[in-house]
Amino acid sequence: MLKLSNKWASFFNAQPETGMGYVVTTVILKDGRRFERVCVIGGIVSSIEGRTDIPFDESEIREFIVTHDKRGLKR
């Protein structure tokens, strides 16, 4: 899990939730890598579809794109 700083709070507060208390996003890193179906719960990157780790730090994140794409996410 990766706890995000308050830097992202206003962004996530302005987004509609995918489900109760969470949002599903795409994460784009500064080096161009993309991670699809990233679950963010209460300011914490909790999971990425198909991975057991979070392979980046907050400093590497360029943007989040809210997609609400839940296909393949474990519940």
Domain annotation covers residue 73: no
pLDDT in tens, 65-75: 999 988 866 65
Domain annotation covers residue 75: no
Domain annotation covers residue 72: no
48-60: b (≥16 Cβ within 10 Å) or e: bbeeeebebeeee
Domain annotation covers residue 71: no
Tell me, what's the pLDDT at 62? 98
Q: Position of tokens 């784009």?
A: 28
Domain annotation covers residue 29: yes
Q: Structural domain of residue 62, as residue ranges?
A: 2-66
Domain annotation covers residue 35: yes
Tell me, what's the pLDDT at 71? 80
If one counts the domains in the chain, the total is 1
Domain annotation covers residue 55: yes
Domain annotation covers residue 74: no
